[in-house]
Chains A and B, each alone.
Chain A
Amino acid sequence: MNCKEAQELFGLLRDLPEQHPQRIMLEQHLLGCESCAGEYQQWEECLDMLQYIPIEVTEEQAEAVNRRVMDRIYAESPWLAPDVKRGVTRRIRRRVVFWAASFLAIFVISFGFLLMDHFTTDQESAEPMTGILPTAVVVAGSESDTYEEFSIALTSVSRGIVEPFAVPMSPAYPQYWMYLSMGGMLLALFSWKGLRRTKR
């Protein structure tokens, strides 16, 4: 090992383990080379001097930094504050989850109802219930034979009155269920986003 190589290793000597070949070689070189030994001593002394430079950092200052950071976090994200998190937010979140679950249940039930209704109702029985019904024409005397096949027997209707346009829709569950279901979906989405943000 020459002097240049030895001096390159000065900065690493502290890190090298006792039995490391580079360390052994450097130590041997320092024993034999007076110039490098002197330089190494100076180098070590310079670094040791660093320890005498006072660091003006007290535990109180460090603790003040800690408090300031936590205060800032809680000020900018109030939902992360421990008291808020345990109290109001948790209660609100529980309510939102309850409503979301209820509305989603309505959605699932109505969807199931729709599917069941779709598969159980056969085509023939459904046909006259939907669309435009054949007009019921009530006629008098001999004309009745001509139109008999197109007429519907309406026993309770008096002559000369035309049956009103009847369009019963199926399935017949309340329309506001759909709004509730959509509300449930939105609440679920909102609470999921809220939870994700809280976790972040």
Chain B
Amino acid sequence: MTDSQMIREIKEGNTELYSELMRRYQRKILAFVYHMLKSAHLELLAEDLCSETFYKAFRSLHSFRELDASFSTWLYTIARNTVLSELRKQRNGNVPLEESGIIPVAPSEVAPEQAVLRSEKVGMVREAINNLPEKQRSALILREYDQLDYQEIANILGQSVSAVKSLKSQLEPYFYEPIYEHYEGMKSR
């Protein structure tokens, strides 16, 4: 059953189907909210805001028009707005992402020094993401984690496609250059 068929049935009163529809996106939206949040109690807030997103989506389902955007784009837009409004409420726009404390497990064939190098790079990338302005961070997460195309990202962020397509140049000062410089520094060590 496609999303639009499900939505039609839900609108006609088959509320139980909404649970099934959520199952298709719940992990992606939760991960997106998780990455967007920058609070000390990250996990708890991520779940709350994800629930809020799906609840809002259900309440406004009657106003959803497939001609304007796909359901996933619409959902991501609600999720982003919910997170932004929460961040605005808390007024702590630049608190870095909580360190998970989990060091990525390196494959067994990778030499220990390479594993250390990679772990260091991951740390750099995480820091770089934290330092990104909100729009660029959203674009990067949507692009790289959720694999959305530029048109969808543009719809979610309310930007033109060409603006989103120049993501690389937008990310350069915050993301790419610091990592690159760090990487070059490590190589010369």
Contact = CB atoms under 8 A, between A and B. Distances in A.
A in complex with B: yes
Interface of A: 7-8, 10-12, 15, 42-43, 45-47, 49-57, 59, 61-66, 68-70, 72-74, 80, 82, 85, 198-200
Identify whether the interface residues of B are mostly helix, strand, loop, or mixed.
Answer: helix
Contacts of A59: 27
Interface string B44-64: 001100110011001000100
Contact of A66 (B15, B23, B165): B23
B58 A62 contact: no
Interface of B: 11-13, 15-16, 18-19, 22-23, 26-27, 30-31, 34-35, 43, 46-47, 50-51, 54-55, 58, 62, 100, 102, 104, 118, 121-122, 124-126, 128-129, 140, 143-145, 149-150, 165-169, 175-176, 179-180, 183
Nearest to A66: B22
B149 A69 contact: no
A73 B55 contact: yes
A49 B43 CA distance: 22
Contacts of B129: 50, 53
A17 to B, nearest CB: 13
Given A12-B165, A54-B104, A65 B26 contact: yes
A8 B122 CA distance: 24
B27 to A, nearest CB: 5
Contacts of B31: 55, 57
Given A15-B149, A199-B13, A42 B47 contact: no
23 contacts: A8-B168, A10-B168, A11-B167, A11-B168, A12-B150, A15-B150, A42-B183, A46-B125, A46-B175, A46-B176, A49-B122, A49-B125, A50-B140, A50-B145, A52-B125, A55-B35, A61-B43, A62-B23, A69-B51, A73-B18, A82-B15, A85-B15, A200-B62
A39 to B, nearest CB: 8
A56 B34 contact: yes
Contacts of B144: 47, 50-51
A64 B26 CA distance: 10
A65 B16 contact: no
A51 B121 CA distance: 12
Contact of A64 (B47, B126, B179): B47
A198 B100 contact: no
Contacts of B12: 199
B46 to A, nearest CB: 8
B54 A69 contact: yes
Given A51-B144, A66-B54, A73-B15, 10 more contacts: A15-B149, A46-B176, A46-B179, A47-B144, A53-B122, A53-B129, A66-B19, A69-B18, A69-B58, A80-B15
